[in-house]
Amino acid sequence: MKHKTLIRRVGMGSVIALAALQALAAVSADEARKLGGSLTPVGAEMAGNADKSIPDYHGGLKDMPAGYQKGSGVRPDPFAADKPLYSIKAADAAKHEARLTAGSKELLKRYPSMRIDVYPTHRSAAFPKYVLDNTAKNATSVKTTDGGLGVEGTYAGIPFPIPKTGNEAMWNHLLRFNGYGYYTQYDSINVDSAGKAVLATTGQINVEYPYYDPKRSGISGENDIYFRTKIAYTAPARRAGEALLAQDYINPMKNGRKAWQYLPGQRRVKLAPDIAYDTPNPGSAGASTYDEGWIFNGALDRYDWKLLGKREMLVPYNGYKLTYAKEPMAVTAPNHLNPDFLRWELHRVWVVEATLKEGKRHIYAKRTFYLDEDSWFALASDQYDARGQLFRSGFASLTPSYDLPSPSASAQWFHDFVGGSYNVSGLLGAYPTGLKNIDALPAAQWSPEALAGAGVR
């Protein structure tokens, strides 16, 4: 009754303004003190679940496993000796339904050869001290702007370790710690509905997160770039020589994504404003959109974001066998990835639901994202069309770079349930570089003018 009285007194316009102010508020100092106590420094529950199938958190994986060579970008599997606890196939999927994403259930339902091998859970996500220290500062200082579409007052850490809204949770994913910068060479493979696998692209990619520059005290200006990537394609022959540069700003409503593309046939660099949102990604033969890279990337403005809470879910995790597979084609099978290369674990995830705003355009009317509580990486997503039917699903396997330490999720794959095809990307094992954490490139390397020569390394 008091709420209704308030609405009558201040008017609907003021109610909307009050709601916006509430979304802007950081958590109290008392609530922030949970970090490092009942909550991990980045906001996950420190304790495991009741039966300890999810264990307590002890700081993540920081010890180097046997066989790791210092400075190498190729990381041996620290859990290679683990055996599956159990496997899920279509016949017993109903028993595990509550812990399966819609995409996982659809794969089990459609394909008798699909199985989910569930391994012991290892909470392996770990962070450098400066990221944890800055996350503690962020808890009481960071605010969203423009109705949750931008952020301000943030330090180089997780911006909202105790999120209250869907926008805040998604900003945690967008500003997740993945190292300051890295370089890798990778393969992307398309598998059509007939089960034929073909090389989609081989690429050399540089990724930088200026947001995590340890020399900076914070980042809040609307002109500040928080993420940038440069990709040079070297194979197959029809795409060799292409290059792409994209960068995202801390307030996309003031500064939208800027992207440039170099096409050898045109011999020039041109602006590429369509490399965003639901433009089909040609590297996946249209099985995914540009904003599905890393499960989600880019601006939040086309959806309303609702935080549904936490769930215990079976998600890809500690996927060293997949990411560093020496023969990338071996990880594929007709209709789905080869289950022998996948490791699924039980983890708590934040569930965020995105509903397309009225008047906005996107091929997905509704989307569900599953964000790992320990790392804030999105590990799975389900996409629905305007009829409410499951259209596509994406997965990413957390594969921590324990040497930094840093969470990482290079390998990602997307299923198109309408076309029956799928794409898997971020396979690093065929190349000796692995995933190399590197210092910042010279500023000139991030200019559009340098893009034409990006494939020369």
pLDDT tens digits, one per residue of 342-377: 999 999 999 999 999 999 999 999 999 999 999 999
Quick one: tokens of 416?
A: 């198109």
pLDDT in tens, 223-267: 899 999 999 999 999 999 999 999 999 999 999 999 999 999 888
∠ CA 30-221-44, nearest 5°, is 35
Strand, coil or helix: 377: coil
Q: What is the DSSP letter of 63?
A: S
Determine the average pLDDT of the residues in 96-109: 98
User: Residue 25 has what pLDDT?
Assistant: 54
- Collapsed DSSP state (helix, strand, coil) of residue 448: helix
- Residues with Cβ within 8 Å of residue 155, at least 6 apart in sequence: 134, 135, 137, 138, 141, 142, 217, 218, 219
Q: Tens of pLDDT along 47-65? A: 999 999 999 999 999 889 9
CA distance 92 to 111: 14
Rg (CA), the chain: 21
Is the pLDDT at 160 greater than 50? The verdict is yes
Tell me the C-alpha distance between 305 and 357, whole Å.
10
pLDDT at 384 over 80: yes
Q: Give the dihedral sign, CA 158/164/165/166.
A: positive
Q: Lowest-pLDDT range, 133-137, 213-217, 402-406, 441-445?
A: 213-217
- Cβ atoms 353, 213 nearer than 8 A: no
Pairing type for strands 366-372 and 332-333 reads: unpaired
Question: So what's the pLDDT on residue 217?
Answer: 66
**Greatest extent of the chain over all pairs of C-alpha atoms, in Å:** 69
pLDDT of residue 153: 87
Name the amino acid, one letter, at 295. Answer: I
CA gap 312, 349 in Å, rounded: 6
pLDDT of 286 reads 86
